[in-house]
């Protein structure tokens, strides 16, 4: 990566001041994809010293710092207990331990990576994001916002513990990106069903949630397949993904119902 | 830019490029055990310990190592000799290109997991590729290394 200056600010506010209004500056979260970045930057602003690597429970919610790594989602007992293991399960097969020790929650979410398992799980969990300038907003709204305003993602907030959550994905090789992924979460009467790697970024299926609430797992799968859009890429065709979607969603909902 | 780090237990002051990967900085400073494999954080060949955690050094910016400790097989002489002997005994040494990264990852695993079974070993080491196809013999060698260490 061609970079002229490398900075490690001590806070999110300091990081924001460095990148705001400067298109030649780039924020560095985990850094896993830096090697693949074609463009160079004048300034790299690394968040590793910005104090964003904390996990805490406050106000009945789980607050996950943007620099918390995937490996920590797998191993941290607070995260594991809060989400019924959902966050750990969705990342545990991504490449290897080495990569999961550098890839961060904030880098994934802020990057809006369409292939990311984590984004699908967080969407199903009803997560919100906290931005240094933009404040707190639902993850669904953040993902849908096409205006990429320069900001620093500080934390991801997972609301009250779900009763149950289930994760399903299909990969060609275990450690590869998913052909398709799905998560289902139930809190009391409220259901949330998310599907990602379609290959677009994760989206909620409200039809699937409605069918799941009625106890109809197969109907939830059919609703998600009908409601969401799918596309072709080197891993699978849109038609194949639609078929896989109905099965993965039905299985995830069935697991939560059982 | 200047960075200070602890490399294999010894203080080091390096001049690195702002966009340089830790892998490149290590090799430029003579730490040639750290191999360049895929260069996309996929193969595990360039694995080093950063503050004790295994990371792909090709995907870690060198300036991020400032103020931190970096460990390669040169800093793990006893473990490297013992695991190397197990790899040789089980016919898992093959070409050896992936071995330094594998050794570092196995040492990290042995510190993190008390008694990993084969599934846990294979899961932990899924990020270490071996193009000689030595996975079965590697697993045997790692099991032998862990048993001897107990």
pLDDT digits (tens, 9 = 90+) for A127-181: 999 999 999 999 999 999 877 678 999 999 999 887 899 999 999 988 889 999 9
pLDDT digits (tens, 9 = 90+) for B2-23: 999 999 999 999 999 999 999 9
pLDDT at B83 over 90: yes
State whether residue B141 is helix, strand or coil.
Answer: helix
Residue A34: the pLDDT is 72
Q: Average pLDDT of chain B? A: 95
By DSSP bridging, strand A153-158 and strand A164-171 are unpaired
Q: Average pLDDT of chain A? A: 93
Percentage of chain A modeled with pLDDT above 70 = 97
Please enumerate in sequence order all residues whose Cβ is within 8 A of that of A56, keeping only pairs 6 or more positions apart, or say none: A62, A63
* Interface contact B143, partner A, CB < 8 A: no
pLDDT at A36 over 70: no
Percentage of chain A modeled with pLDDT above 90 = 80
pLDDT digits (tens, 9 = 90+) for A241-250: 999 999 999 9
Gap between the Cα atoms of A206 and B81, Å rounded: 58
Band of pLDDT at residue B144, cut at 50, 70 and 90:
very high
Better-predicted residue by pLDDT, A163 or B46: B46
Q: Pick the residue from chain B with its C-alpha nearest to A40.
A: B19
Residue A146: the pLDDT is 74
pLDDT at A253 over 70: yes
Check A35 against B39: CB less than 8 A apart.
yes
* Interface contact A175, partner B, CB < 8 A: yes
Cβ(A224)–Cβ(A246) under 8 Å? yes
State whether residue B59 is helix, strand or coil.
Answer: helix
Residue A170: the pLDDT is 97
Cβ(B80)–Cβ(B73) under 8 Å? yes
Check B59 against A1: CB less than 8 A apart.
no
Give the mean pLDDT of A28-42.
78
Model-wide pTM > 0.90: yes
For A19-28, A119-128, A195-204, which range has the lowest pLDDT when averaged over its residues? A19-28
Band of pLDDT at residue B150, cut at 50, 70 and 90:
confident
Give the mean pLDDT of B58-79.
97
Residue A230: the pLDDT is 98
Longest CA span, chain B? 45
- Residue A185's closest CA among A164, A212, A156? A164
Give the mean pLDDT of A31-40.
72
- Residue A124's closest CA among A111, A138, A104? A138
Give the mean pLDDT of B127-139.
89
The values of phi and psi at residue B27, to 5°, are -65, -35
Check B56 against A98: CB less than 8 A apart.
yes
pLDDT at B134 over 90: no
Residues from chain A contacting residue B125 (CB–CB below 8 Å): 96-97
Gap between the Cα atoms of B116 and B147, Å rounded: 10
Give the mean pLDDT of A15-44.
84
Most confident of A78-82, A197-201, B66-70: B66-70
What is the number of other CB atoms lying within 10 angstroms of the CB of residue B143?
A: 16
Q: Is residue A44 within a helix (H) or strand (E), and if so which, with residue range?
A: strand A41-46
Residue A38: the pLDDT is 62
pLDDT at A98 over 70: yes
Distance spanning both ends of chain A, measured CA to CA: 49
Check B54 against A97: CB less than 8 A apart.
yes
Residue A33: the pLDDT is 75
Query: From edge to edge, which strands make up the β-sheet containing B69-71?
Result: B10-15, B2-7, B69-71, B47-50, B53-56
Give the mean pLDDT of A103-125.
95
* Interface contact A5, partner B, CB < 8 A: yes
pLDDT at A23 over 80: yes
What is the number of other CB atoms lying within 10 angstroms of the CB of residue A60?
A: 8
Gap between the Cα atoms of A70 and A168, Å rounded: 17
CA angle A57, A148, A135 (to 5 degrees): 30
Query: From edge to edge, which strands make up the β-sheet containing A178-187?
Result: A164-171, A178-187, A190-196, A203-204
Put simply, the chain B residues between 8 and 37 with a CB less than 8 A from any chain A CB are 17-19, 21
Gap between the Cα atoms of A125 and A141, Å rounded: 14
Residue A8: the pLDDT is 96
Gap between the Cα atoms of A178 and A211, Å rounded: 25
């Amino acid at each position: 990566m061609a970079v002229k200056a490398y900075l490690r600010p001590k806070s999110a506010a300091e990081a924001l001041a460095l990148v705001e209004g400067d298109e030649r500056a780039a924020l560095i979260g985990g850094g896993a994809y830096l090697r693949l970045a074609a463009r160079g930057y004048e300034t790299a602003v690394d968040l590793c010293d910005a104090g964003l690597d904390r996990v805490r429970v406050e106000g009945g919610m789980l607050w996950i710092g943007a620099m918390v790594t995937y490996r920590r989602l797998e191993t941290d007992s607070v995260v594991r207990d809060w989400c019924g293991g959902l966050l750990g399960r969705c990342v545990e097969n991504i490449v290897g331990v080495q990569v999961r020790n550098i890839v961060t929650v904030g880098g994934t979410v802020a990057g809006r990576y369409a292939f990311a398992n984590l984004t699908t799980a967080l969407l199903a969990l009803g997560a919100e994001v906290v931005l240094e300038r933009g404040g707190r907003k639902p993850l669904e709204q953040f993902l849908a916002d096409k205006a990429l305003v320069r900001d620093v993602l500080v934390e991801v907030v997972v609301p009250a513990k779900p009763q149950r959550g289930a994760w399903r994905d299909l990969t060609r090789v275990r450690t590869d990106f998913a052909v398709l992924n799905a998560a289902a979460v139930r809190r009391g009467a409220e259901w949330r069903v998310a599907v990602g790697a379609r290959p677009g970024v994760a989206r909620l299926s409200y039809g699937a949630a409605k069918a799941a609430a009625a106890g109809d797992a197969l109907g939830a799968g059919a609703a998600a397949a009908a409601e969401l859009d799918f596309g072709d890429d080197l891993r699978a065709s849109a038609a194949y993904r639609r078929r896989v979607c109905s099965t993965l969603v039905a299985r995830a909902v069935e697991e939560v119902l059982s | 830019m200047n960075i200070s780090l602890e490399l294999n237990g010894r203080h080091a002051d390096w001049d690195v490029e702002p966009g340089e990967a830790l892998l490149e900085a290590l090799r430029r400073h003579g730490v040639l055990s750290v191999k360049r494999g895929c260069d996309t954080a996929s193969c595990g060949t360039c694995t080093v310990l950063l503050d004790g955690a295994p990371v792909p050094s090709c995907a870690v910016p060198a300036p991020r190592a400032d103020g931190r400790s970096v460990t390669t097989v040169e800093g793990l002489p006893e473990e490297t000799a013992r695991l190397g002997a197990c790899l040789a005994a089980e016919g898992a040494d093959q070409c050896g290109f992936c071995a330094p990264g594998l050794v570092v990852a196995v040492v990290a695993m042995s510190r993190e997991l008390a008694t990993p079974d084969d599934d846990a070993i294979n899961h932990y080491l899924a990020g270490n590729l071996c193009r000689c196809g030595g996975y079965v013999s590697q697993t045997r060698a790692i099991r032998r290394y862990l048993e001897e260490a107990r």
